[in-house]
Amino acid sequence: MNVLILGSGGREHTFAWKIAQSKKLNKLFIAPGNAGTKNHGENVNINPNDFDAVKTFCLANDVKMIVVGPEEPLVRGVYDYFQNSQDANHIMVIGPSANGAQLEGSKDFSKAFMERHNIPTARYLTFTSENLADGYKFLETLEAPYVLKADGLAAGKGVLILSDLEEAKRELANILSNDKFGAAGSKVVIEEYMHGIECSYFILTDGENYKILPEAKDYKRIGEGDTGLNTGGMGAVSPVPFANAEFAQKVEERIIKPTIKGLKDENIVYKGFIFIGLMNVGGEPMVIEYNCRMGDPETEVVIPRINNDLLEMFEEVGKGNLTTTKLDISNQFATTVMVVSGGYPEFYEKNKVITGIENVSDSIVFHAGTTLNNNEILATGGRVIAFTSFGNSIQEAIAKSYDSISKVSFDKMYFRRDIGKDLL
Ligand code: AMP
Ligand code: GLY
């Protein structure tokens, strides 16, 4: 089968690396891909949000499956576009319908969905500029810190956590009346703050059957000790030691089963990944958010721990019979450390030459923001390369990731030296 992956980050390189190992694969394409995905298939210069161009390419190249990496094409309806396209509805799209993608595309939708299906999450209310004053009143009933969430997609920047009530009111007004997040902020979810440790679960579903993939913990802040600005993610660890059998059972019974049943009961077509961001509140799992795709860099530790043929699993998802696969998960720890461009997540310089990748032997190198220029690999993104390693303990795996990083260099490279430390 010919397969097209949409996206260009570490998540998509990981999918490409894994799918390239499938005995079912004929040709692999990645749009637009990066310097790393080139090792596993052919990069094609198409914008994942240009559905007409994606379709033309698929028809010309006999592509039978599209694996969607990022959320934006999903929220914009790439699944539905192919379903409704007479000459291309034979192409399987791995990802939810636009309706299903609302789990990520609208915080208000996802909170209301959880409420309808009794899925544990923080108490909340949603406000618009029409009832700003009610928003102020609701904030007064809550305790600090205050959590404000722009309803729509805001490139990971739409959540504000504020310790001061007056500041929370000012920011609420900024989002609702002054367009701080543009259209994404025309509604704001205000919710209670949950105290605990975060952990993420990943489900692959055909809308009826599901497989629970390995869980992971992500490190979002730029600075060591979880300080500084939020990033897309600076590293990840899987498995997560506190997510033991008892916790996992609570997650499945209270969250995963009602989520899948809720989607089915509401006739929401969903053939793809569900990423559930959780807070462990004194041993009880509470949902922070859903995403309609895999996480990045969580994919870089989750997918390498799966020994099954991923393409075979995707085919079952597409056909709606995700039943024959018996998951075979490595019991080793996987860690990944993301190397970024100095300055990220704010301004950073681009096009620095990366050297030494060929000297790495103990880790898998997943490219996130790289471009091949003649024979040089250039750092062109904020997040540049993820170094994934295995070990019998977090310590053993992470030591390999750091040793591999020491072999690679580019001007102003930066990475956190404390990935996984909090779990030891
Ligand atoms: P989200 O974009 O919804 O994942 O939110 C970004 C981050 O904000 C999460 O990863 C959490 O660290 C934090 N967060 C969001 N909602 C809450 C909440 N209700 N209580 C505590 N932390 C939260
Ligand atoms: N690492 C967090 C995310 O992918 O949203």
Task: Quote the CA–CA distance of 234 and 232 in Å, as a whole number.
Answer: 7
Q: What integer best gives the mean pLDDT of the chain?
A: 96
- For 300-352, the pLDDT digits (tens) are 999 999 999 999 999 999 999 998 889 999 999 999 999 999 999 999 999 99
Q: Give residues (CB < 6 A) around ligand 1.
A: 122, 147, 159, 161, 191, 193-194, 198, 220, 277, 288-289
From the CA of 296, the nearest ligand is 2
- For 184-224, the pLDDT digits (tens) are 878 999 999 999 999 999 999 999 999 999 999 999 999 99
At residue 108, the pLDDT reads: 95
Residue 155 pLDDT level (bands cut at 50, 70, 90) = confident
Long-range residue pairs from 417-421, CB within 8 A, at least 24 positions apart, any chain: 417/224, 418/219, 418/224, 418/225, 419/219, 419/234, 419/235, 419/236, 419/237, 419/335, 419/336, 419/337, 420/235, 420/237, 420/335, 420/394, 420/395
Residue 106 pLDDT level (bands cut at 50, 70, 90) = very high
* φ/ψ (deg, to 5) at 70: -85, 165
Average pLDDT for 270-291: 97
Amino acid symbol at 235: G
- For 217-230, the pLDDT digits (tens) are 999 999 999 999 88
Q: How many residues would you count in the chain?
A: 424
Distance, CA 220 to ligand 2 centroid (Å)?
8
Nearest alpha carbon, ligand 2 atom 2: 295
Report the b/e string of 126-147 with b at 16+ CB within 10 A.
bbebeebeebbebbeebeeebb
At residue 413, the pLDDT reads: 98
Residue 129 has pLDDT above 90, yes or no: no
At residue 336, the pLDDT reads: 98
Residue 132 has pLDDT above 80, yes or no: yes
User: What percentage of the chain carries pLDDT values higher than 90?
Assistant: 92
Nearest alpha carbon, ligand 1 atom 6: 159
Q: Which atom of ligand 2 is nearest to the CA of 293?
A: 4
Q: Which atom of ligand 1 is nearest to the CA of 291?
A: 4
Average pLDDT for 62-79: 98
From the CA of 288, the nearest ligand is 1
At residue 46, the pLDDT reads: 98
**CB–CB of 422/398 below 8 Å?**
no
Nearest alpha carbon, ligand 2 atom 4: 295
Nearest alpha carbon, ligand 1 atom 4: 289
Residue 180 has pLDDT above 90, yes or no: no
Distance, CA 254 to ligand 1 centroid (Å)?
20
- For 384-413, the pLDDT digits (tens) are 999 999 999 999 999 999 999 999 999 999
